[in-house]
Each structure stands twice: as C-alpha cells, then as structure tokens.
Amino acid sequence: MRIEGAFANSYDRFVKRESLLPPDLGDLIKSLNPRSILEFGCGTGTVAVGLALEGFDVTGVDFSADMLKIARKKAKLYNAQVRFIKGDISKINLYSKFDCILCLGNILPQFRSSPSLASLFKNALRHLHPNGVFIAQQLNYNRILELKPIAFAIDIDKELIRIKQYRYRKSHIDFVVTLIDSSQTPPSKKVHLSRLKPWKKDKLLKYASSVGFVEVEILGNYKRDKFDLDSKDAILIARK
C-alpha cells in the first residue's frame, strides 16, 4: 500500500504517543542487543528516528516518496542520523546485513498471496546477520475475523477527521480510510482503499519457518505476553 498526498501529509497527526517509539518496543529491541537495525516499511520515519536517538545504526526503506520526504524532515528536526531509501521491501537488495529487521504498522497484510509474503520473509532473511532477529507486527486477524468490526476507529485532530473501516470479502479485507477536512466549505473528502490479506497466526508461523527462519513465535505484544484471541496485535519474532 503506497500512501501518498493528503494521506501521507496527515499520517502523523493521528498518532498520539508520548515518545517516538511504541510502548515496550524499545525495551524489546534493547534486550536483543543489536547494533544495526533495518526497518522495512518505515513510513514517516517515527520509529526509525526514535531508534537512532537511542544510539542504533538505523536504515529505513519505504515505497512511498511522500512518506520518505516527511521521514527525512523528521530526522533533520531531531538531528537523528538515519538512512532512508525508497524501494520495494520484498525485492530490494541493500547489499548489507543487519542485526535486527523490523516490519511494523500492519504491513504484512499488504502482501496478499502466499508467494508474496514468502518473498518478503526471504528478503528479510537475506538481510540479516547470522543469529539476527526479524520482528513484524500486524493486527490480530484471528480476533478481527471472529468479531468482524466495520468501523473500528474515528480519529479527530482539529479540522481533520479520519474514519477507518473494514469491508469483508471472501478471502480478503478492504481497508477503507476516509479523510474529511472540515476547514473547507463544503468539507472535502478523500477516500483511500487498500486490499489486505488477514493473515492468521498459523499462516505466519508456517511461511516464516518455510523460508528458513528458526525459533519462530507469535506474541501478543512487545512485552512478550502470550498471544491469544484477546490480543490486539500479533507480533512475529523469528531468528536467522
């Protein structure tokens, strides 16, 4: 899913965190003791910048030029040293290896077929040092497919309103984001639709193991709590 234009420019306005890093992610990464980190799908660079400020050597890759433009401005604002590169995370070859690779922000469901997901996992594997760790975060689709919510988030920031909804298909989910700008008369409305594959826990474990990862597990959060139906997220952790 390429996020461009108004959706890229408004992306950060709806992320409300006390720090650049999601809660407990920094502690999880520090426990692995990496020096170099590659973030696949770095978006506007918030996590990459946060990790760089923690002293890690960070590289971020994303397919969206608009998102990377924001990421570079953010790194400059925080005086953080991060390499940002435009590319397809399932195909790009950086000719470098890393201690840890991150793929956060529900990116895995954007790979809608088994071969495409396997390609992403293979590319992560080849960019890791021996014993390196791959961490991927997505929503808990075991839970979502059980409950089938329609509108699951309405975010408001001053004159901007963002509505996130699901439409359920036979084997996919349409993720619909509506952005309403009430500063204009009449209000403007933009709609962004992306089709997602709701990967369940067993499939993630299967495909990560099939490409050669070992010690593959699915956790419920960055604190390493057990994954179950009530978990908000599914955190894949796998080692080369």
Tell me the CA distances in angstroms from 82 to 2, 19, 49, 183, 227, one per residue in order.
Answer: 21, 17, 7, 35, 32
CATH number of domain containing 187: 2.20.25
Instruction: Assess whether 34 and 11 both reside in one domain.
Output: yes
Map residue 173 onto helix, strand or coil.
strand
Total tally of structural domains belonging to the chain: 2
Rounded CA separation 30/67 (Å) = 26
Instruction: Assess whether 15 and 125 both reside in one domain.
Output: yes
pLDDT grade for 71, boundaries at 50, 70 and 90? very high
Cβ–Cβ < 8 Å for 60, 71 = yes
Instruction: Assess whether 229 and 173 both reside in one domain.
Output: no
**Rounded percentage of the chain residues whose pLDDT exceeds 90:** 78
More confident residue, 34 or 13: 34
Tell me the CA distances in angstroms from 126 to 17, 95, 213, one per residue in order.
Answer: 33, 9, 11
Domain range for 127: 5-140+198-239
Instruction: Assess whether 76 and 166 both reside in one domain.
Output: no
Question: What average pLDDT does the segment 82-104 reach?
Answer: 98
Instruction: Assess whether 87 and 179 both reside in one domain.
Output: no
Largest alpha-carbon pair distance within the chain?
Answer: 57
Strand partners, 100: 37, 133
Instruction: Assess whether 188 and 206 both reside in one domain.
Output: no
Region at 152 (left for phi over 0; alpha for psi -120 to 50; beta for the rest): alpha
The per-residue pLDDT for 152 is: 80
CATH number of domain containing 212: 3.40.50.150
The per-residue pLDDT for 18 is: 61
